[in-house]
Amino acid sequence: MDRRQALAATIRGMEIDLRQPWAIGPVEIPTRLVLAPMAGVSVQAFRRQGRRFGAGLVCSEMVSCAGIEHRNERTLGYLRVASDEHPLAIQIFGSEPRAMAEAARMVEAAGADIVDINYGCPVRKVTKTGAGATLLEDPARACAIVEAVAGAVSVPVSVKMRRGLADGSRACLEVGPALVEAGAASLTLHPRSARQMYTGWADHSLTAELVSLVDVPVVASGDIASRARAQAVLATTGAAAVMVGRAAQGNPWALRELLGEDEGEPSREEVAAELILFVRETVRELGERRASGFLKKFYGWYLGHGRFPRRFKSELTQIDSTEEVEARLLAAAPGAAAVLARLEETLPSGDDVLLELPISVYGGG
C-alpha cells in the first residue's frame, strides 16, 4: 500500500459526520458546513437557500464599513436579515479600528449572530485601501481592528483570511494566534495567497498548522467541492468545519452531497423550480431592474452541468424581464410549476426583516 492509499484508508476510518453541531462562542451551529461570503453572490436569497439545503452557518457578502458609516445611498443593496437565515455571520471590511467598531455595532443591531472580519479579499480596489488581505502584512493594525470590534459588540467575532499576500507566505500562522488573543472567537483560513486569487490549489497543510496553534474553532476554506474532499480536509487538519463557496453557486444540491444526503442529480423540474424561486426572492430583495442584471450569471450556473442545452442558457441571459425568464423556464420544464408550489408551501409566511441599512459592497472573496 503506497502513501496515497494509506492516507485514503486513514481518512475513511476517520469519517466525520458533517451534520453534527458545533459552536462559535455561544452561537450553536447545526452542521459543519458554512456557506461562504461571496461578493455579488451572497444575497439573502442565496443565504436562505443555503440554509434550506443544509448549511449550518451562512454569511453575507462583505460590507464596507465606510458605506455603513456614511449611509451612502448609492449602493448595491440593502442589508436584510430574515428569521430563517440564523445563524448568520455578516462580514465587514475596512482598515480603521474605530470605523470597523461602529460598523460592527450596526450589523449586530441588524441581527447578525456573528461579526466576521475580512482579511482575505485579494482584489486591488480593496487591498489598496489597506483592507482585506493587506492587513495580514500589518499585524498590529489587524489586531487593533479585532480588539476594537470585539469590544464593540456582544456577539462573537470571527476573521476570514488568506495565507498572506505573496505565494509561499506563512503570515496567517503568525497573525492568526495574535488575532485570537485580540478577541477573535473563530478563524477561517483560505490557504491561497492573495496573488494566487483562485488559481492553483489551497494548501491545507497550513490549515492543520493553524489548528495546532489556536484554541478556537478553525474553518477550512478552499477547494471544498465534494464530500470526499471535505472529509479529507477535516480528517487531516482537525478543522471544526468546512466552508463552501464556488461549488454552491447555482448548485445548492452540492451542499446535500457534502452532508452525505446525496439524492442524485436533480431533475430539470427541480432545477427550474429552485431557479424560479431564487429569481422571485432576488427581485423582492433588489427590485426588478437591478435583479435582472444581477441574475444573469446565475442562469448559467443553475442550468449548467448538462442539465439544459447550452443555447437555452444563452437565450435566458439575453432576456431583461424576469417574468419572461420564468415563463421560459416553465415552458422548458412544465412539471416545475408543481415542484415550485410545494417549495413555496415550506417557506416561512412572510419575511421577518429586522432592519434595513444602506451598504456598499465591493468585489472580492
The chain-wide mean pLDDT, for the chain, equals: 88
Q: What is the pLDDT of residue 15?
A: 84
The number of beta carbons lying within 10 Å of the beta carbon of residue 25 is 16
Task: Examine the pLDDT at 72 and tell me if it is beyond 80.
Answer: no
Task: Examine the pLDDT at 250 and tell me if it is beyond 70.
Answer: yes
φ, ψ (nearest 5 deg) of residue 287: 90, 155
Q: By mean pLDDT, which of 46-50, 95-99, 159-163, 360-364 is the weakest?
A: 360-364
Single out the catalytic residue among 59, 65, 121, 143: 121
Q: What is the pLDDT of residue 2?
A: 54
H-state helical runs in the chain? 3-13, 44-52, 65-70, 97-110, 124-127, 139-152, 171-182, 205-213, 227-237, 253-258, 268-286, 288-294, 296-303, 310-317, 322-332, 336-346
Give the H/E segment covering residue 9.
helix 3-13
The number of beta carbons lying within 10 Å of the beta carbon of residue 2 is 7
Task: Examine the pLDDT at 74 and tell me if it is beyond 70.
Answer: no
Q: What is the pLDDT of residue 254?
A: 95
For the record, the C-alpha cell of 34 comes out as 458554512
pLDDT in tens, 206-236: 999 999 999 999 999 999 999 999 999 999 9
Task: Examine the pLDDT at 107 and tell me if it is beyond 80.
Answer: yes
Average pLDDT over residues 235-253: 96
Q: In the structure, what pLDDT confidence band is assigned to residue 193 with cuts at 50, 70 and 90?
A: very high
* pLDDT above 70 coverage of the chain, percent: 88
Average pLDDT over residues 163-183: 96
Q: By mean pLDDT, which of 216-225, 255-264, 329-338 is the weakest?
A: 255-264
Task: Examine the pLDDT at 9 and tell me if it is beyond 70.
Answer: no
Q: By mean pLDDT, which of 11-20, 157-166, 179-188, 229-238 is the weakest?
A: 11-20
89 three-state secondary structure = strand
List beta partners, residue 11. Answer: none
Task: Examine the pLDDT at 357 and tell me if it is beyond 50.
Answer: no
Average pLDDT over residues 71-95: 75
Q: What is the pLDDT of residue 109?
A: 87
Between residues 285 and 349, the one the model is more confident about: 285
Task: Examine the pLDDT at 350 and tell me if it is beyond 70.
Answer: no
121 an active-site residue?
yes
Q: By mean pLDDT, which of 83-92, 163-172, 189-198, 353-362 is the weakest?
A: 353-362
Between residues 270 and 350, the one the model is more confident about: 270
- Rounded (10°) angle between helices 205-213 and 227-237: 40
Q: What is the pLDDT of residue 77?
A: 44
Q: What is the pLDDT of residue 50?
A: 97
Beta strands per DSSP E along 176-244: 186-193, 218-221, 241-244
Q: What is the pLDDT of residue 1?
A: 52
Q: What is the pLDDT of residue 285?
A: 86
Q: What is the pLDDT of residue 76?
A: 35
Average pLDDT over residues 100-117: 92
3-state helix, strand and coil shares in percent for the chain, rounded to the nearest 5? 45, 15, 40
Q: What is the pLDDT of residue 276?
A: 97
Task: Output Rg (C-alpha) for the chain, integer angstroms.
Answer: 20
pTM exceeds 0.75: yes
Q: In the structure, what pLDDT confidence band is assigned to residue 71 with cuts at 50, 70 and 90?
A: low
Q: What is the pLDDT of residue 156?
A: 98
